Chains A and B, each alone.
Chain A
Amino acid sequence: MPFHYELRFVGAGGQGNMLAGTIIAEAAIFYENKYATQVPTYTSQVRGGPTKADVIIDDQPIEFAESTHIDFLLALDQRAFELYKGDLKVNALVLIDSHLVQVSPEDQQRRDVYAYPIVRTAKYEIGKLVTANILAVGLTVELTAVLDKENVRKAIRACVPAAFLDLNMRAYDLGLQAARELRSRKRQLMAADRLACPSMVPPSDVLTALAPSTCGQPLTA
Chain B
Amino acid sequence: MPEVRIASGNELVAEAALAAGCRFYAGYPITPSSEIPERLSKRLPELGGVFMQFEDEIASVIAAIGASYAGYKAMTASSGPGISLKQEGIGLACMMELPLVIVNVMRGGPSTGLPTRVSQADYMQARWGTHGDHLIITVAPATLLECYTETVRAFNLAEKYRAPVFILSDATLSHLHGRVELPAAASFEIIERRQPSVAPEDYYPYDVDRFGPIPPLPNRDNFPRYRFHMTGLNKDKGGFPTENPTVVNADERRMVAKIMDDRKAIDSCEYYRLDDAQVAVVAYGSNATAARVAVNDARQRGIKAGLFRPITVWPFPEAQVRELAGRVPKILVTEMNLGQMVYEVERAARGQAEIITVLQAAGTPIRPAQILQQIQVAAGKVVGDSIRREVLV
Pair B289/A64 contact, Cβ less than 8 Å: yes
Q: List residues of chain A with CB within 8 A of the CB of B293.
A: 63-64
Assembled-state Cα–Cα distance A221/B107 (Å): 12
The residues in B between 10 and 68 inclusive whose CB is less than 8 angstroms from any CB of A are 30-31
Contact string, B281-294, partner A, CB cutoff 8 A, digits 1/0? 00000000110110
Pair A90/B390 contact, Cβ less than 8 Å: yes
Pair B175/A89 contact, Cβ less than 8 Å: no
Select B116's contact among A22, A29, A44, beta carbons within 8 Å: A44
Q: List residues of chain B with CB within 8 A of the CB of A221.
A: 30-31, 112, 115-116
Pair A63/B178 contact, Cβ less than 8 Å: no
Pair A39/B179 contact, Cβ less than 8 Å: no
Residue B359 is within 8 A (CB to CB) of chain A in the complex: no
Pair B115/A36 contact, Cβ less than 8 Å: no
What is the CB-to-nearest-CB distance from B344 to chain A, in angstroms, rounded to a whole number? 24
Pair B368/A64 contact, Cβ less than 8 Å: yes
Pair B172/A87 contact, Cβ less than 8 Å: no
Residue A41 is within 8 A (CB to CB) of chain B in the complex: yes
Assembled-state Cα–Cα distance A177/B112 (Å): 46
Pair B178/A35 contact, Cβ less than 8 Å: yes
Residue A40 is within 8 A (CB to CB) of chain B in the complex: yes
Given A68-B388, A88-B391, A90-B392, 4 more A-B residue pairs with CB atoms under 8 Å apart are A29-B4, A40-B175, A41-B175, A44-B116
Q: List residues of chain A with CB within 8 A of the CB of B388.
A: 68-69
Q: List residues of chain B with CB within 8 A of the CB of A30.
A: 6
Pair B392/A39 contact, Cβ less than 8 Å: no
Pair A26/B367 contact, Cβ less than 8 Å: no
The residues in B between 369 and 393 inclusive whose CB is less than 8 angstroms from any CB of A are 369, 388, 390-393
Q: List residues of chain A with CB within 8 A of the CB of B176.
A: 37-39, 65
What is the CB-to-nearest-CB distance from A58 to chain B, in angstroms, rounded to a whole number? 10
Q: List residues of chain B with CB within 8 A of the CB of A216.
A: none
Assembled-state Cα–Cα distance A41/B174 (Å): 11
The residues in A between 63 and 96 inclusive whose CB is less than 8 angstroms from any CB of B are 63-66, 68-69, 85-90
Select A29's contact among B6, B115, B390, beta carbons within 8 Å: B6
Assembled-state Cα–Cα distance A44/B171 (Å): 13
What is the CB-to-nearest-CB distance from B379 to chain A, in angstroms, rounded to a whole number? 21
Residue A174 is within 8 A (CB to CB) of chain B in the complex: no
Assembled-state Cα–Cα distance A65/B9 (Å): 13
What is the CB-to-nearest-CB distance from A25 to chain B, in angstroms, rounded to a whole number? 6
Interface size on A, residues (CB 8 A): 31
Q: List residues of chain B with CB within 8 A of the CB of A220.
A: 31
Question: What are the nearest 8 A-B pairs in CB distance?
Answer: A37-B178, A221-B115, A38-B177, A86-B393, A44-B115, A29-B179, A64-B293, A64-B289
Some 28 contacts from A to B, beta carbons below 8 A apart, are A25-B6, A25-B177, A26-B6, A36-B179, A37-B177, A37-B178, A37-B179, A38-B177, A39-B172, A39-B177, A40-B175, A41-B117, A44-B115, A63-B289, A63-B292, A64-B289, A64-B367, A64-B368, A65-B172, A65-B176, A66-B367, A69-B390, A85-B393, A86-B393, A87-B391, A87-B393, A90-B392, A221-B116
Residue A183 is within 8 A (CB to CB) of chain B in the complex: no
Pair B367/A42 contact, Cβ less than 8 Å: no
What is the CB-to-nearest-CB distance from B2 to chain A, in angstroms, rounded to a whole number? 13
The residues in A between 181 and 197 inclusive whose CB is less than 8 angstroms from any CB of B are none
Pair A42/B116 contact, Cβ less than 8 Å: yes
Q: List residues of chain B with CB within 8 A of the CB of A86.
A: 391, 393
What is the CB-to-nearest-CB distance from B23 to chain A, in angstroms, rounded to a whole number? 28
Contact string, A42-54, partner B, CB cutoff 8 A, digits 1/0? 1110000000000
Residue A110 is within 8 A (CB to CB) of chain B in the complex: yes
Residue B365 is within 8 A (CB to CB) of chain A in the complex: yes
Pair B391/A89 contact, Cβ less than 8 Å: yes
Residue A211 is within 8 A (CB to CB) of chain B in the complex: no
Q: List residues of chain A with CB within 8 A of the CB of B175.
A: 39-41
Q: Which of A25, A65, A88 has most chain B Cβ within 10 Å?
A: A65
What is the CB-to-nearest-CB distance from B181 to chain A, in angstroms, rounded to a whole number? 9
Instruction: Report the nearest A residue to B171, measured CB to CB.
Output: A41
Q: List residues of chain A with CB within 8 A of the CB of B296.
A: 63
Contact string, B169-192, partner A, CB cutoff 8 A, digits 1/0? 000100111110000000000000
Residue A62 is within 8 A (CB to CB) of chain B in the complex: yes
Q: List residues of chain B with CB within 8 A of the CB of A38.
A: 176-178
Instruction: Report the nearest A residue to B144, measured CB to CB.
Output: A37
Q: Which of B112, B177, B391, B393 has most chain A Cβ within 10 Å?
A: B177
Assembled-state Cα–Cα distance A169/B67 (Å): 48
Instruction: Report the nearest B residue to A90, measured CB to CB.
Output: B392
Instruction: Report the nearest A residue to B391, measured CB to CB.
Output: A87
Select A110's contact among B117, B290, B369, B392, beta carbons within 8 Å: B392
Assembled-state Cα–Cα distance A88/B391 (Å): 6
Pair B6/A69 contact, Cβ less than 8 Å: no
Q: List residues of chain A with CB within 8 A of the CB of B177.
A: 22, 25, 37-40
What is the CB-to-nearest-CB distance from A28 to chain B, in angstroms, rounded to a whole number? 8
Contact string, B70-83, partner A, CB cutoff 8 A, digits 1/0? 00000000000000
What is the CB-to-nearest-CB distance from A8 to chain B, in angstroms, rounded to a whole number? 13
What is the CB-to-nearest-CB distance from B283 to chain A, in angstroms, rounded to a whole number? 12
What is the CB-to-nearest-CB distance from B365 to chain A, in angstroms, rounded to a whole number? 5
Instruction: Report the nearest A residue to B30, measured CB to CB.
Output: A221
What is the CB-to-nearest-CB distance from B115 to chain A, in angstroms, rounded to a whole number? 4
Select B178's contact among A62, A69, A89, beta carbons within 8 Å: A62
Assembled-state Cα–Cα distance A44/B293 (Å): 30
Assembled-state Cα–Cα distance A86/B53 (Å): 41
What is the CB-to-nearest-CB distance from B179 to chain A, in angstroms, rounded to a whole number? 4
Given contacts A63-B293, A64-B290, A221-B31, whether A35 and B391 have CB atoms under 8 Å apart is: no
Q: List residues of chain B with CB within 8 A of the CB of A29.
A: 4, 6, 178-179
